[in-house]
Amino acid sequence: MIPVNEPLLNGNELKYVSECVKTGWISSAGKFITEFEENWAAYCGMKHGIAVCNGTIALELAVEALGFPRESEIILPSFTIISCAQAITKSGCVPVVVDCEPDTWCMDVSQVEKAITAKTKAIMPVHIYGHPVDMDPIMGLAEKHGLIIIEDAAEVHGAEYKGKKCGGIGHVSCFSFFANKIIATGEGGMVLTDDEMLAEKLRSYRNLCFQDKQRFLHEEIGHNYRFTNVQAAIGLAQLERIEETVERKRAMARKYTSGLRELPIRLPVERPWAKNVYWMYGLVIDEKIGLDAKELAKRLRTAGVETRPFFLGIHEQPVFKKMGFFKDVSLPVTERIARQGLYLPSGQAITDEQIDYVIEQVRRELLRGT
């Protein structure tokens, strides 16, 4: 089976992890954590980095620390992972969803202003599968309506919008370093911001609101959302070769794109202002051929190719329906690509021969049709 993702740990990972083991710095203090936070923040063009245990928590911590009043509305794309919406509901806020674009699969920014009400406090753009959201209109709306922008950059490490790194544009940005990400630490995440006071609050909430002056005196309820020195050691080693990794991802995408041309499928795009890192190489099958992503995935699995379906939109999630959200919401692009889209093996360890094999199998199945 060609796995949908396989991490590549062939740099200084083992050396740095061994250093943690030899020195005993295996927990949430140690030099690699600070170094990783500082280097990742600097790479993305932000001042402060607060490493946490995963990307879901990075989002939850960011929304919590921003301290919006209950019932505040936060606008996000429906086409994203549940982590984004649950970060909003767990803080007592209301998720308001918009549709995505049919080609970049990112939030359709032309729909955002219509969704703004007197209760709106923030917008959460989510860069999808390696391609940036069109951020200028979002930042314009933030300025015009006094809103906070929480960028979810989990899927776009190294991607750029008009020459700026994704995750370095909004007021706060969140990352995941799960094993399938471009920088992979196993589990892990980070929040970035330029706002010093917010950074302090994030650090405090991450670590049970212990206080410097009197450690076991607590003014607020915090969490244990800590990241470890061992994870940071892996992250730093990965960060040392991020440019190489991004180039490999882009080469992988070029190979897929040239092999999958002229089929009844939509392939990833790259807007003129974007640097797409093709975190996962997705495709959307034309409905006209009567084949959906579930069936294609089943056939590819039989041929030894693992895939993943696209996200099911937030507005279609039973859990949110039960909570009373999204009663009359219908978002045609999100609903269609959720059923017609999947992504192909895209991990860093994939070989050119494996990509050729995947292309051959996809071509065969699509030409065979239903």
Ligand X SMILES: Cc1ncc(COP(=O)(O)O)c(C=O)c1O
Among positions 83, 173, 245, 346, the unique one binding ligand X when judged by CB under 6 A = 83
* DSSP SS3 for 128: strand
Binding mask 233-272 for ligand X (x = CB under 6 A): ----------------------------------------
* DSSP SS3 for 151: strand
**Interface size with ligand X, residues (CB under 6 A):** 14
Among positions 33, 93, 96, 126, the unique one binding ligand X when judged by CB under 6 A = 126
Q: Closer to ligand X by CB, 61 or 198: give it.
A: 61
Q: Closer to ligand X by CB, 74 or 359: give it.
A: 74
Tell me if 334 contacts ligand X by CB under 6 A.
no
Interface stretch with ligand X, choices 48-56, 203-211, 280-288, 313-321 (CB under 6 A): 48-56
**How much is the CA Rg of the chain, to the nearest whole Å?**
21
- Closest approach, Cβ 54 to ligand X, in A, equals 4
Residue 98 C-beta-side C-alpha neighbours within 13 Å: 23
Tell me if 178 contacts ligand X by CB under 6 A.
yes
Tell me if 54 contacts ligand X by CB under 6 A.
yes
Of the candidates 334, 342, 290, the residue with the CA atom closest to the CA atom of residue 316: 334
Among positions 151, 155, 270, 365, the unique one binding ligand X when judged by CB under 6 A = 155
Tell me if 120 contacts ligand X by CB under 6 A.
no
Q: Closer to ligand X by CB, 13 or 155: give it.
A: 155
Return the residues of window 182-211 that contact ligand X according to CB under 6 A: 189
Q: Closer to ligand X by CB, 133 or 233: give it.
A: 133
How far apart CA 198 and CA 351 sit, in angstroms, is 43
Q: Closer to ligand X by CB, 134 or 152: give it.
A: 152
Tell me if 73 sits within 8 A of 94, measured CB to CB: yes
Residue 143: which H helix or E strand, with range? Answer: helix 135-145
| Strand 48-52 relative to strand 189-193, pairing | antiparallel
| Residue closest to ligand X when measured from CB atoms | 55
Here the tokens at position 258 are 């040239």
Residue 154 CB contacts under 8 Å (≥ 6 apart), including other chains? 55, 81, 126, 174, 175, 176, 181, 189
Here the tokens at position 342 are 């999947």
Q: Is 370 exposed, middle or buried (0-12, 13-18, 19+ CB in 10 A)?
A: exposed
- Closest approach, Cβ 154 to ligand X, in A, equals 4
Give the footprint of ligand X on this chain (CB under 6 A): 54-56, 80-81, 83-84, 126, 152, 154-155, 176, 178, 189
